[in-house]
Structure 1
Amino acid sequence: MTFHPWRWLRAKPEIEVIWQPQPVGRIAATDGHRVILMDPRQSQAQRRCAITHEQIHIEHRHVGGCSPTEERQVRAATARRLIALDELVAAYRWSRDLREMADELWVTPDVVRERLAGLAAEERRRLASVHDDLELTC
């Protein structure tokens, strides 16, 4: 099932989203409590990924930044939340190109890459079975 970050946010009226240009190299940020800063120059897919990423920082109460390990965990959680395994399998069946998969999944290529890198063993087997299925039908 597709995660809808804007629906999640609608249920959290205490969280304010402020649209303002961000410094070079940053598209969003949070105070870890109640504020998410979003750069308005993002694409829709970037916005979806960034708002989810910042929501996870708030859920984990990352105030004043976080460690590199915590940041990696948030990136992995963002990818898992935005890309369900069934959706990933369907996109993988359609294309192996990260950009095309990202377009299909309505995320950025970096989020697809993160989701693929974080696959559990059973998820890897399921994705590998798509390759086997495709060979049988050709």
Structure 2
Amino acid sequence: MLRSLAHVMIIWNRPYPDIVAATDGRRIWIDPKLTSVERKCFLAHESIHIQRGHTGCQPPAIERQVCLEVARFLVSFEALQDVAGWSRCPIEMAEELGVTEQVLLDRLATLDGDQIQALWPPGDHIA
């Protein structure tokens, strides 16, 4: 995703004490102390803001839309289905999928009833 944004500069500094990543549309600031998984997720998040033309703080509804888009981008339904076949632990699932727990929870929030049934059919139990 970042390759398509060659004009964007990544600055390895935490943008604000209470925010680990931000963008102004031309630059992405990111906390260098984040784990590689966190960096991937936050860079994807800020990249989507840039692709949408956002240049600063966004209202909560827009932030939520971006979070859900990031989750769909980073976690395919097929990959989620594979992991759901052997785990119900969000931390374990997120680790296996290479995303943060919040991105996993956002991805689960994008699912409709049929998809949830496909992941966890009634009567299907893990021993």
Q: What TM-score results when the alignment is normalised by the length of structure 2?
A: 0.90
Q: Distance in 2 between matches of 1:120 and 1:24?
A: 37
Q: Which has the higher helix share?
A: 1
Q: Distance in 2 between matches of 1:87 and 1:62?
A: 30
Count of residues paired in the alignment: 127
- In structure 2, the residue matched to 1:58 is 50
Amino acid at match of 1:126: A
Q: Distance in 2 between matches of 1:36 and 1:47?
A: 11
Q: Distance in 2 between matches of 1:76 and 1:51?
A: 14
- In structure 2, the residue matched to 1:23 is 16
Pair 1:116 & 2:108 matched = yes
- In structure 2, the residue matched to 1:49 is 41
> What value does the CA root-mean-square deviation take over the aligned residues?
1.8
Q: What TM-score results when the alignment is normalised by the length of structure 1?
A: 0.83
Superposed CA deviations along residues 80-105 of structure 1, whole A, max 9, x for unmatched, are: 11000011111111211111011100
Q: Distance in 2 between matches of 1:9 and 1:106?
A: 18
Percent sequence identity over matched residues? 36
- In structure 2, the residue matched to 1:80 is 72
Q: Please list every run of 5 or more consecutive structure 2 residues that lacks an aligned counterpart in the other structure.
A: none
